[in-house]
Structure 1
Amino acid sequence: MMLIVTGGAVHIGAISTAYYSPEGLIEVQTTKIPGHKEYTISESLARRAIEVLNRTVTIAAGIHYDNITKSEIEMIVEIVNKRMDEYLFNKK
């Protein structure tokens, strides 16, 4: 399953794929673009999604707003997490 998380100027800052290892453990592999910090969101979302959906999940994330403050970033992360929960728990 592929999910895309964007906001502001659309771009790709990080891509995370969560999958089950042969031992049955959840593994997450992330590719991050230099200078971008979306991996902090994409990794946690991929991990949460695989736990609920029980299948390989890839999250592509790119969120950019000029001159954003720390509190605005925290608000965006909260919104993204809420939307992910809405998606995951309405999808089951």
Structure 2
Amino acid sequence: MSPDDIELTATPIGRDLLILITGGVRHIGAASTAYLEGDTPKVHTSAVPHHKEHTLSESIALQAAQVLQRTVTVVMGIHYDNLTPQGIQEVVRLVKLKVEQYLLQQK
């Protein structure tokens, strides 16, 4: 498996939005919910021990909540065996690109 199988799926839940980002061996590594309290964005994150997805899910949830002006939960689970530091950077780049493309489509 390679990072080109990363998928972003968005599901409206009433006024809110659930974004699922997976790749490689899919699983739940972290979930972040961002919401606006007045003009101030807030976020709550739950991460499975020994997983690193929360390092991305938090900032993505905050970004999406601010851009879309709605509550957004991002659930992430991406795993590839034996990724090099360059491979990790490529995964991060692809995830951010998919999020940017999605948010641009929503405007």
Name stretches of at least 5 consecutive residues in structure 2 with no aligned partner. Answer: 1-16
Larger strand percent: 2
C-alpha distance in 2, partners of 1:52/1:6?
22
Question: RMSD between aligned alpha carbons?
Answer: 0.8
- Give the number of equivalent residue pairs: 91
Q: What is the letter of the counterpart of residue 31 of structure 1?
A: S
Distance 2:24 2:60 in 1: 19
1:2 aligns with 2:33: no
Q: Deviations over 1:29-78 (max 9, x none)?
A: 00000000000110011011011101000000000001111110111101
**Aligned-partner residue type, residue 50 of structure 1:** A
Contact 2:36–2:66 (8 Å) recurs in 1: no
Deviation at 1:24, TM superposition (A): 3.2
Contact 2:29 2:77 in 1 (8 A): yes
Query: Aligned runs of 1:41-80 on 2, under 5 Å?
Result: 41-80=56-95
Q: What is the identity, as a one-letter code, of the residue corresponding to 1:13?
A: G
Selected match of 1:15 from 31, 37, 47: 31
Matches within 5 A, 1:27-42: 27-42=42-57
Structure 2-normalised TM-score?
0.82
- DSSP-derived class of the 1:15 partner: strand
TM-score between the two structures when normalised by the length of structure 1? 0.95
Equivalent position amino acid for 2:94 in 1: I
Which runs of 5 or more residues in structure 1 are unaligned?
A: none
